[in-house]
Amino acid sequence: MSRKLFLHIGNHKTGTTSIQESLHRNRQYLSDQGYSAFNKLSDEKLLEHANSNNWKIPTNANNWLVFKEPAYPGDISSCIADKEKFAAAVASSGRNTIVSAENFSWSCSIEELQELRDALAYYFDDISIVAYIRRQDQQAISYQQQNSKNMSLPSRLKFFGSDPVALPDYQKHHDRYLDYNVRLGYWADVFGDKNIKIRVFDRKHLIDGDAVIDFFHVVGAKIHHVVESNISRPFAAVKIGHLLNELSITNHWVRSDLAKALDYGDKMLPNRKQAETYYSHFRGSNITLNRRFQITDHPSLFGEDFSSYPEHRTDLWDENRANEAIKRILTLYSELADATKLEDATDLSTRHSTRYKFNKSLAKLKQNPRKYLLDKLGSR
């Protein structure tokens, strides 16, 4: 009997979290249809730790992928460290298995992909690669925003630069991630063109305008519950998130408190000219990719309407924006400082890694908040 494998490889910021959450929510319904959603952890110790801390084991395979720590951002790459173990784990999940991991988007070695295919082909005779892509200016903006949330490897290496702006200036190493013709071409060279399913992350091209519904349609499964996750963050939260990365503040509670305090305002956007210029570096490769796979009716693959961008960029501080952010941060700081005074010594020791570090990190803000923020985040 034929065994099918659907390997969903991203990209990031194309509904991957919603797809993975929907796979989890529809697990039993999928099983009734003969599908399984892969969610095994790569390390037994991780599994024990997850169970002991009541973590929800993720419906993705990102924990199997490891990143090399290069000195140069353009050398970022991910791979499955133990491909035979991974393939066996996937095979033990069920007959028609769905594996989702957006970190496969950083798998850029054709040799690694060949080894992965060989390991999986031992168990599966029908392997489909599912990838969602979006126009490069939109992808870079969304990924740059995502980088403000945590200290992921691309963020630590400043893949999109160190400036907390909506859209970075183009650099040649951006091709590593955004030249879809080269990157997806590697997957096609290894797994075969007919096994590559490339979808454009655009409501006009998605079934019912929804990535989750579209994905389930691609794999041939029905769905009961559609989950929407990972909503875009507003201007101030993104700006401060980048600042926290610069200061290497990784504490979850600190970042969460600030994100909630700064959850207001519009989205950061570049101006129309910036977006057009950035996209122009990839237009030729998009045309080549579309010729090979016949993805859309647009010769250039993506629609080229940039009217959603403003005439003037909205990603820089001005006096009003800076003052509002400062007020909210200082209000939060004051409330937490007052709460700390009321805690006894024992309670304070248990909160040392959260509230105390938060207070210490923002000491300079209290001294001269406007100068500190504007110097750090820029007001060009």
Given a contact cutoff of 8 angstroms between Cβ atoms, the answer to whether 274 and 170 are in contact is no
Query: What dihedral do alpha carbons 8, 182, 77, 267 form, nearest 10°?
Result: -70
Peptide bond into 11 cis (omega under 30): yes
Residue linked to tokens 């519904």: 213
| Residue-level pLDDT, tens digit, the chain, 380 residues | 579 999 999 999 999 999 999 999 999 999 999 999 998 888 765 554 455 555 566 678 999 999 987 888 889 999 999 999 999 999 999 889 999 999 999 998 999 999 999 999 999 999 999 999 999 999 999 999 888 888 788 888 889 987 889 999 999 999 999 999 999 999 999 999 999 999 999 999 999 999 999 999 999 999 988 888 767 788 999 989 888 888 888 888 888 888 889 988 888 999 999 999 999 999 999 999 999 999 999 999 999 999 999 999 999 998 998 899 989 988 887 776 665 554 544 454 444 444 555 555 555 555 566 666 666 555 44
Amino acid letter at 194?
K
Quote the pTM value.
0.84
What's the DSSP call for residue 203?
A: T
Q: Within the chain, where are the H helices?
A: 16-25, 27-32, 44-52, 83-91, 110-121, 136-147, 153-156, 175-178, 180-191, 211-219, 235-246, 252-261, 272-280, 283-293, 319-342, 345-350, 357-361, 363-367, 369-377
What is the pLDDT at residue 87?
A: 97
- The model's pLDDT over 279-331, given as tens digits with 9 standing for 90+, comes to 999 999 999 999 999 999 999 999 999 999 999 999 999 899 889 998 998 88
Pairing of strands 126-133, 196-200: parallel
CA distance 278 to 140: 9
Residue linked to tokens 């210029």: 277
- The model's pLDDT over 4-16, given as tens digits with 9 standing for 90+, comes to 999 999 999 999 9
Please, what are the domains in the chain? 4-219 (3.40.50), 235-266+317-377 (no CATH)
Write the Ramachandran bin of 27: left for phi over 0, alpha for psi from -120 to 50, otherwise beta: alpha
What is the pLDDT at residue 162?
A: 79
96-100: strand order across its sheet: 35-37, 96-100, 4-8, 126-133, 196-200
Write the Ramachandran bin of 18: left for phi over 0, alpha for psi from -120 to 50, otherwise beta: alpha
CA distance 365 to 373: 8
* Beta-ladder partners of 200: 133
Q: How many CA atoms lie within 13 A of 343 on its CB side?
A: 16
Q: How many CA atoms lie within 13 A of 306 on its CB side?
A: 19
What is the pLDDT at residue 348?
A: 46
Q: What is the DSSP string of 177-197?
A: HH-HHHHHHHHHHHH-GGGEE
Distances in whole angstroms, Cα of residue 344 to Cα of each of 91, 207, 337, 338, 340? 53, 56, 13, 13, 8
* Beta-ladder partners of 7: 99, 129
Helices 369-377 and 319-342 pack at an angle, to 10 degrees, of: 120
CA distance 94 to 371: 58
Pairing of strands 65-67, 78-80: antiparallel
CA distance 4 to 95: 7
- Helix then strand then coil, in percent of the chain rounded to 5, is 55, 10, 40
Which among 154, 115, 166 has a CA at the least distance from the CA of 10?
154
Q: Which residues of 211-248 are buried (b: 16+ CB within 10 A; e: fewer)?
A: bbbbbbbbbebebeebbeebeebbbbbbbbbbbbbeee
